[in-house]
């Protein structure tokens, strides 16, 4: 069972993979290594063996600020994230890694989805305290409300929600 949001920007459904849901090309935004592990495990049941998974990691550029890590360190982190996604390889048709540099993380993810004609952006919710979301913004909220394509939120396998 799935319920469509009247705005068409979000799907709410059961915790079980929905048969008939066709996700041929998805964008899978990943923030870190643990996020990659949880997301790849959670999304696997929803994918067909012919699906294309476009893994996106955005290196956020700061406007006029000092970055916490060098660009080389951030690229190495992205490589570790992409390596973790290889666990999906036997389950899907193709995995494409996309590394972008942008001041607008959500905009970069959505641009990738649009440019690649993705059927959906798929992610698992990330743990964050309310204060962190208040200060830094809520990427999940922005993805849902700014996306032109469907956004599918898949509960992580350890989640009770």
Domain boundaries, the chain: 25-153
pLDDT at 11 over 50: no
Between CA 39 and CA 48, with CA 43 as vertex, the angle to 5 degrees is 145
pTM of this prediction exceeds 0.75: yes
CATH number of 25-153: 3.40.50.620
Q: Which two tokens stand for residue 39?
A: 């997301």
Of the candidates 154, 38, 49, the residue with the CA atom closest to the CA atom of residue 94? 49
Q: How far apart are CA 28 and CA 97, in angstroms?
A: 10
pLDDT at 145 over 60: yes
Q: What is the mean pLDDT of the chain?
A: 79
For 58-113, what is each residue's pLDDT tens digit?
998 877 666 677 888 989 999 999 999 988 878 888 999 999 999 899 999 999 99
Q: How far apart are CA 96 and CA 55, in angstroms?
A: 6
| HEC assignment per residue over 62-121 | CCCCCCCCCHHHHHHHHHHHHHHHHHHHHHCCEEEEEEEEECCHHHHHHHHHHHCCCCEE
Show Cβ contacts of residue 104 under 8 Å, excluding neighbours closer than 6 positions: none
pLDDT at 14: 42
Mean pLDDT computed over 26-34 = 93
pLDDT at 159: 53
Mean pLDDT computed over 41-62 = 89
- 3 state DSSP class of 54: strand
């Amino acid at each position: 069972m799935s319920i469509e949001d009247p705005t068409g920007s979000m799907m709410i459904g059961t915790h079980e993979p929905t048969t008939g849901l066709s996700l041929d090309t998805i964008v899978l935004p990943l923030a870190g290594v643990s996020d990659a592990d949880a997301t790849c495990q959670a999304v696997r049941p929803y994918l067909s063996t012919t699906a294309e998974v476009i893994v996106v990691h955005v290196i956020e550029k700061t406007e006029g600020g000092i970055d916490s890590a060098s660009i080389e360190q951030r690229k190495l982190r992205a490589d570790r994230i992409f390596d973790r996604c290889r666990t999906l390889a036997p389950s899907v048709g193709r995995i494409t890694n996309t590394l972008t540099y942008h001041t607008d993380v959500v905009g970069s993810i959505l641009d990738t989805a649009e440019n690649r004609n993705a059927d959906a952006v798929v992610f698992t919710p990330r743990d964050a305290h309310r204060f962190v979301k208040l200060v830094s913004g809520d990427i999940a909220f922005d993805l849902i409300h700014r996306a032109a394509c469907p956004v599918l939120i898949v509960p992580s396998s350890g989640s009770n929600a």
